[in-house]
Amino acid sequence: MDVLWAPWRMEYIQSPEKRGKNCLFCDKLKSTADRENLVLYRSIHSFVIMNPYPYNNGHIMVLPNRHVPDLHGLEDVVLLDLMKVTEHSIDSLKRVFMPDGFNIGMNLGKVAGAGLGEHVHNHIVPRWTGDASFMAVLGEVRIIPEHLRTTYERLYPVFNA
């Protein structure tokens, strides 16, 4: 049996947010500690945060400031802002990482994979030709080549230029 140690996951598993006491995203939105919370960008109606457990380097999320489980009930101005911030995020990621493409999507509801389904969010995952290497295919292991803080420091000035 192969064992893959990922002790950094315990913080996520045991976090109060995982147990449903608070909305992780709302807490980070209310905080002013953007760097510590990996918040990259704030607009009037939306914000961008890095995924601390990324599928790929540069994996980010775009969220409305309003706490809602899906897109229903969001005003048109908020929906437009969400899409404009998504567009800005793609442009920023292109400038920094030069990916070959992107996976962009929302998981709506627990059965769709929404681990934090009470606050709707877009996932944006940069993709590169060949990024599904033998490690992911054979070993079911994904390699993230850059530390989250380094990625944050590279992305923050581009998002906020």
Q: What is the pLDDT of residue 106?
A: 87
Tell me which fold the domain 22-159 belongs to. HIT family, subunit A (3.30.428)
Rounded CA-CA distance 45/65 in Å is 5
- Average of per-residue pLDDT across 24-53: 95
pLDDT in tens, 61-98: 999 999 998 899 899 999 999 999 999 999 999 999 99
Q: The tokens 């500690």 sit on which residue?
A: 33
Catalytic residue check, 121 = yes
pLDDT above 70 coverage of the chain, percent: 76
Q: Is 151 buried (19+), middle (13-18) or exposed (0-12) by CB count in 10 A?
A: buried
Domain ranges of the chain: 22-159
Residue from 45, 59, 119, 121 carrying the catalytic annotation: 121
**pLDDT for 42-61, tens place per residue?**
999 999 999 988 888 899 99
pLDDT of 21:
65
